[in-house]
Structures are given as structure tokens and as C-alpha cells.
Structure 1
Amino acid sequence: MKLIQDTIHGLLKIDDWMIKIIDTPEFQRLRRISQIGFANLVFPGANHTRFEHSLGVMEVARRLVERMEIDEDEKMEIVASALLHDVAHLPFSHCSESVVERHLGLNHENVEVVLKRGEIREVLRDLGLNVSRIIAHIKGLSDCNVVKGDIDADRIDYLMRDSHYTGVAHGVFDAQRLINKIVFVDKKMIIDAVCLRSAESLLISRFLMYTTVYYHHVCRIARKMFEKALEFCIEDGNLKPKDLFYMDDPTIVNFLRASDGYPKEVVERILNRRLFKRALYVEIRRVGVNLNRIDPNTAEREIAERAGVDEEYVIVDIPKLANGEEFKALVLVNGVIKKLDEVSTLVRALRDAEKNSLMLGVYTPKEFVERVGKVAQEYFAVDKTYQSKLF
């Protein structure tokens, strides 16, 4: 056994079999994948990585499985799944994901892309771990929801960790009480009603972290610029989408800097924080068109044409509502299992507030803001009473 000092959970007990997984090149790559993309452009301390988050999720999962009535081999399998749940994350984490999803229909949960090749495949085989079972745990397809569920080990760790490193206090909740008061029914995590307030606190933390950090307009602008640069490289045939599964942050930055034209310009803008600006930034409920029918690429092309700007310098950002699995977490109330949003009016209010918090953004270089903004207002039929506040 080894001990690792973790910022969030204190001393982590790392068994020998865990070290064998951690020491593989595939897992070590996570040291070079930022946890929350370009958030450090807003929150300078947000330089933590998927590596330390994965160790944290492993620790939360270990504490949970210790209380499960299952054999040691199954406990090991669940903890290994927690450790490996992010092994297929792409450079700058979710900032690359939508590009790969569009081209390959894959995302970071498709860990088979990484686990079924290279050194890590041999290590898992030698440890006697069932890769198919690990994949099922990570994708939420197994009979246990510790790794992937409504309120799971992943969510507990990332809210605590991201809050700490951004310096935003919104991610603080009583995680230890929540972990200790979770009960298991047929391997499924159920929240004891005596811990309802801790579960509500987690949902409040999640809502505030999304609105304050994850969907901060600077984070969104940098992310969308990065996506557009990747798309440019893929369309030119200089980058294969699947290669992103084996790249890290420095590798993709160097690749883009070595490119010609637009991709190089974009990555230099991001690195030097010379980002596009908001030409339009408005609550989605104030938009007069059905955004479900709007293709962002088409909208960018049409807005750019009407504004007399090169299409490369217009970005349309239509954020999607998070899945919100947490709202459906199960709660044990007087011997009856109910959904969290059924027993908590606060959780129902948070669900509605999350829908109303999403913002439509149109971004462009500073010199084009006014003309792109006027065209974008008309294109999206923005509420007339709101238009005067935009400039």
C-alpha cells in the first residue's frame, strides 16, 4: 500500500493493484488533461487535472463499497471502474467532446477506445479484471450505480474539487454525511431521508457551479473557439477525430500552433486571452425562434453573410440543458423509495431555475461586435424590450 496526499480527501490509501493501473501511460495521460477546460482564464487556480479527480472518485467509491454486502472481487471491480471512469477524456476535457460526438458518435464514456489497447489492457488482464464489466459500470449499464448514477462518486468529487480550485464556495456541501447516510438496495445507492438536506445541498451546489463556473461566458467563448479550430482541422483532413482520445492538452496546443491560418490564430488568441466578445448574450426564454430547429453552423454562416464578416469569426453558442440525473436520485422515506424531485420542493425549483439560466451567445472579435450583434438580434428574434440593453 502507498499513501497519496489529496487536497480534497486527505490521505488516500492506494493498494498495489491500483498502482499498476495508475502507472500505465494511458492513465498518466490524465495528468495533462485539465479538469474544467479553459476555466483558468477566469479562475486562475483552476489548474487541476483529470488525474487527481480520478483518484478522488476512486476514494469516494471505496468508502461507498466498504458498506456494500458484496464480495471483495466485486468491490475491486467497482473501485477500478471509478479510477478509470475518465481515462478516455479528450484534451481540455469537455471542450473537445462535442466535436468527437458529431463525427464519431462517441464521448468520454466510451472508455473501450482506450481500455482495449496498449499497456492498460495487459494490466487489467493480469489483474483479472473484467473490462466489459468495467465499461458497463462507467456507462451506467450495470446493476450498481456507484460510478455512474443519479448522485454518484463522480459528482460528489467534482463538485468539491472544482469548488476548491476555482475558489468559488458554491461547491461546499456535507459530502461525508451524504456518503455515510446512503443505503444500498440491490446494489443501488438510495439516499436515506434523514440526509435529505445534504442531498439538496449538493443540488444547490451543482446549480450554482454550473451558472457561476461551467457556463461562465468566458469559459463558453474559449470552449467554442477551440471547438471551431478543431473542426477546421478535421474538415481540412489534418486531424482525425479518434486521435483526440490519445492526445493531451499540450499535444493539441502544439498541433494547433503548428497549423497554418485560422487554427493557429485561434489557439494563440486563447493562450493570450484575446478572446472573441459577446455580440449577443441573452436568456434563451427571450429568444423568439425555436432553437431546437436552429443548426449553429447554418446560423453562423447566415449571420456572417448578413453582417459582412468572414464565417470563421462568428460563433453561435446554443448550450444544452444538462441531463439532470441528480433530480431523479432515489430517497428512502418511511420505507418507501421515491424520487428526489418528488419529495423536495427545493429540488423542483432548482430544476426549473436551471432551465431559465441558459444563455444564447453569439461571439465575434471586438471590431465586429456591433454589426454582428444587430444581425443576431434580428436573426433570433430577441425580445424587443431587451434589445436596448445589449449595447
Structure 2
Amino acid sequence: MYLSEAIRDPVHGLVRLERADLALIDSRPFQRLRLISQLGLTDRVYPGARHSRFEHALGTVEVTTRLLEEMRARLGLEGLLSPLSMATDEAHFHQLLRIARYVALLHDIGHPPFSHVTEKLLPEGGHEQMTRSLLDHPEISKPLTRCGEEIQSSVLRVLDPRDDELPENLRFVRSLVCGGFGADRMDYLLRDSHFLGVQYGNFDLPRILHTLLPVETDEGVRLGIERGGVLAAEGMQWARFSMFTQVYFHRTRRILDLHLIDFLREVIPGGRYPQDPEQYLRWEDSKVLGLLQQIQLDKEHAGYLDARRIMRREHHRATGDIVEGRDIDEVSQRLAVRMEELQRSDATLDPIADVVSAPPDLDAGAVLPVQDENGEVRKLGQVSALVGRLRVRPFGRIYCASKSVVSDQVF
């Protein structure tokens, strides 16, 4: 494999590419990622958050490449490939590297406009299933076919969320790219921090790269870490925890998300993105922003109020009430009581409830296998007191209409 091409990147310096990668990068599904923001409407809070899924995908390729290159240099072909039941020669290493790089490159092509924000409007299976559908697009499938049937089928299997019967080498690739300590997560934490101008998501990437390795566990071979990398792993877990609590759960970002969902339900036919890949590819941020610009001036349109709330920053404001509970159900019940009280006190408040809960994989890093000098394997959450205690309890906020929007609606 000859990485003869390079693209400048503000996070990693250079993203190295094969010439064969360019056909995939130039494809319509991949170029569309330039028009899909990484963090939705977060730029309304952090103005620098204008980065897209396009550069994140490229960054994930570079981190994936560095991970495997570092493992090969440190462990040798035998130490890296034998646990994966692969022949220990250069040809099989380059095959593994190429599969992992293509998985990294293509893992996000199914994202909807504004990324995760509007994912609930996707057909069943979310952006992962849409990614799998788009892999059959001619501009993706033809370049993959030229790489050989084994590489193509491996990429398709790793990126198929329904395929849980992967062989060891492909399970390892999936964890390497998409797992709790995978390249995807490493890149977006560093990239989001860079563009937002915050430090929360920074961690010791070089040390993690130097200590990750394939580890034998009861569930098979997984991406793990040497005992000497635990401190760096703790730092990455803390970085993700901090980004969720300080950025991704920011109150203004959350209410803008809710307004955007309500707006799109009024403007997308049927209230959901089309399932047909060709129709779906026509939906990206600029199309939605154009609709927002247009409809904020059309008082007769059902999406007028939400368009205005987003475009003129007349969004609902948080009341200051933070409702906590043991689980989502308890939070929802308490929010419902508070909402009813507000509605009785003032009918113009138009309260909106938002239940905030950590994603189910926020603590996935706690199960990262840690291998000590004697070969004993334990989970990171067992080795690290910090990681074992990182939790985000569900909580709820209530937002009420700003006076300018309420008065406009009345008069």
C-alpha cells in the first residue's frame, strides 16, 4: 500500500491517502458529507462549530491508519495478525489496513442533515442502516469492486449493523474504527474541541496509539490497551464525559434541536426522510437552511414559528428548572407535573419538555480490555476508579416561548 496522496487537516496535520481512495472521496455520497454539519446547530452557540462530516471521515481514516501502523511497529506482524486468525505476512497486513481504512472513510455517509440531531426522522435502522444502503450506490460499489471481492465484502459486512456474526479480524476492525476507543471517537473528540474552541475533548492521543493492541477476551479478540495506557484511557473517557455534559447537552443547543425536528416534520413529505437512497441524497444542510430562510417569512406555513425561532434566535428559553430522577420514566413523570403547573399559570408559555439522558454507549469505554504485563485481562472500569464512577443521570429541562414569538403568534 502506497499512501501517495495527502490532504491538509487542522487536527492531524496531514491525512494520507492512496490514489484508489480518491474515487470514493469524489463520489456523490461522500461529497455530500461536505454539506452535513458535524454538530447540527451547535454553531448557534459555539460559532466555530462549522466543521462537517466530510473532514471527520477523513480524520477517522488517518487515526485508523496510525493505529494499525503503530501496532504493527510495536507488536510485529505475528503479534498483530495471529490473534486475528490471519496469516502473518505483509500482504495480509495491508489487506487488514485497507479494509479498516475503507470502513473509516465510509462509516458516516448515511448521516441526515445536521447529523444526529435529525436522526429520529430516518427510516428504521438510523444512519447506520442508511450507510449500508448507500454502499450499494454505483459510485461507491464500483470503486470497492475494483479493490477485490474479499475487501468489498468485508467492508460491507463491518458496516452492516445487522451482521453480528463477523469473523475475528472483522470484529476487530469494527471495534478499531467504531468501538468505545475507536478511531471515530478519537477524531470527533479532538475535532469538535478544536473547532468549538474548548479544551474538554482533548486527550493524550499519542500515548493511546502507543498502547492499544488486540486482546483475547471471553467474547473473542477485541481492541484493548496495555496497563501502561490506563491513564491516557481515563483521559479520553473524561474528555467524552465532559463534551457531553458541557457541549452536547448545552441547553440552547438542545432547544434548537427540538425546534428543528418540529420544523422538519412539517416540511418533509410524510414527516420522515425518504428511504430511497437517491431521494435521500438530495437532503443536506443547505436544503434545510434554504427552507428555513424561506418559511420564516411565510406566516401561513405550518413550520413558520419553528423557522423563526431558529433563524431569529427567538427560540424557547430554559426556565431554570432542572428535574432529576433515578431513570428516564421518573424524570418524564416529574416534568409532566411541572409542565401542567406552567400551563395553568400562563397559557402563552407554550412549555416544551426535554429529557436528557446519556447515550447508551457513554460508558462503553469502561469495558475496554486492559492487559497487564502477565497477560491478565481486566476491564477498564475495574482497573480505574475514575472510569468506574463516570455516570450521567437522566435529567429534564423545561423551555418556554420567548415573548416576541408569542406576541407575533397572537397578533
TM over 0.5: yes
1:255, distance to aligned residue in structure 2 (A)? 3.3
Change (3 A) 1:369 1:207: farther
The equivalent of 1:105 in structure 2 is 124
Q: Superposition pairs for residues 28-177 of structure 1, below 5 Å? A: 28-66=31-69, 67=72, 68-69=80-81, 71=92, 72-100=94-122, 104-110=123-129, 111-128=131-148, 130-138=151-159, 139=161, 141=164, 142=166, 143-144=171-172, 145-177=175-207
In 2 relative to 1, CA 226–303 (structure 1 residues): closer, same or farther, beyond 3 Å? farther
Q: How far has the Cα of 1:116 moved from its partner?
A: 1.4
- State how far apart, in whole Å, the 2-side matches of 1:213 and 1:105 are: 28
Q: Return closer, same or farther for 1:195/1:271 CA change in 2, 3 Å cut-off.
A: same
Over 3 Å counting, the alpha-carbon distance change for 1:83 and 1:218 in structure 2 is same
Task: Write the letter of the residue equivalent to 1:237.
Answer: G
1:368 and 1:41, CA in 2 relative to 1: closer, same or farther beyond 3 A? closer
Matched, 1:225 2:237: no
Q: Alpha-carbon deviations, 1:174-226, whole Å to 9, x = none?
A: 11110111111365211111010000000111111111111111110111111
Give a deviation string over 1:75-118, Cα, whole Å, max 9, x none.
21111001111111111111111232xxx322122211211124
Instruction: In structure 1, list runs of 5 or more residues that go unmatched.
Output: 371-391
- Matched letter for residue 167 of structure 1: G
| Structure 2 partner of 1:374 | none
Whole-angstrom CA distance in 2 between matches of 1:315 and 1:277: 10
Q: Tell me what 1:8 maps to.
A: 11
In structure 2, the CA distance between the partners of 1:164 and 1:293, relative to structure 1 (3 Å rule), is same
Which of 237, 240, 243 is the matching residue for 1:206?
Answer: 240
SS at match of 1:3: strand
Assess if the C-alpha contact under 8 Å between 2:121 and 2:272 holds in 1. Answer: no
Change (3 A) 1:317 1:118: farther
Distance 1:302 1:293, change over 3 A: closer
Would the aligned equivalents of 1:253 and 1:267 in 2 still touch at CA under 8 Å? no
Task: Please report the TM-score for the alignment, with normalisation by the length of structure 2.
Answer: 0.78
Where 1:151 maps in the other structure, the secondary structure is coil
Report if the CA contact (8 A) 1:277-1:369 is conserved.
no
Q: CA, structure 1 residues 286+327, in 2 after alignment: closer, same or farther (shift >3 Å)? A: closer
* Partner residue, 2:409: none
Pair 1:7–1:344, CA change in 2 (3 A): same
| 3-state SS in 2 of match to 1:326 | helix
Q: Amino acid of the residue matched to residue 119 of structure 1?
A: E
Structure 2 match to 1:275: 315
State the secondary structure of the residue aligned to 2:127: coil
Give the TM-score, by structure 1 length: 0.82
- The structural deviation recorded for 1:364 is 2.6
Query: Percent identity among equivalent residues?
Result: 31
Aligned partner of residue 172 in structure 1, secondary structure = coil
In 1, the alpha carbon distance for the partners of 2:49 and 2:272 equals 28
Q: Which amino acid aligns with 1:316?
A: A
Looking at structure 1, the residues matched to 230 and 115 of structure 2 have their Cα atoms a distance apart, in angstroms, of 31
Instruction: Give the distance between the partners of 2:405 and 2:326, measured in 1 at CA.
Output: 20
Q: C-alpha separation between the residues in 2 aligned to 1:18 and 1:239?
A: 32
Corresponding residue number in structure 1 for 2:287: 251
Pick closer, same or farther for the CA change 1:283–1:336 going to 2, 3 Å. Answer: farther
**How far off is 1:293 after superposition?**
7.0
Query: Are the structure 2 counterparts of residues 17 and 106 from structure 1 closer, same or farther at C-alpha, using a change threshold of 3 Å?
Result: same
Separation in 1 of the partners of 2:152 and 2:315? 42
Q: Within 2, Cα distance between the matches of 1:361 and 1:58? A: 38
Q: Could you list the per-position Cα deviations for residues 38-81 of structure 1 after superposition, in whole angstroms to 9, with x for gaps in the alignment? A: 11111111111111111111111111223243512232111100
Q: Determine the C-alpha separation between the residues in 2 that align with 1:289 and 1:51.
A: 37
Q: How many angstroms does 1:361 deviate by? A: 1.6
On the 8 A contact 2:42/2:49 being kept in 1, the answer is yes
Residues 354, 397 of structure 2: 8 Å contact kept? yes
Where structure 2 has 5 or more consecutive residues not aligned to the other structure, the ranges are 73-79, 87-91, 407-411
2:270 is aligned to: 237
Aligned 8 A contact 1:34 1:92 in 2: yes
Q: Is the 8 A contact 1:78 1:137 kept in 2?
A: no
- Give 1:280 shift: 5.3
Three-state SS of the structure 2 residue aligned to 1:318 is strand
Matched, 1:317 2:354: yes
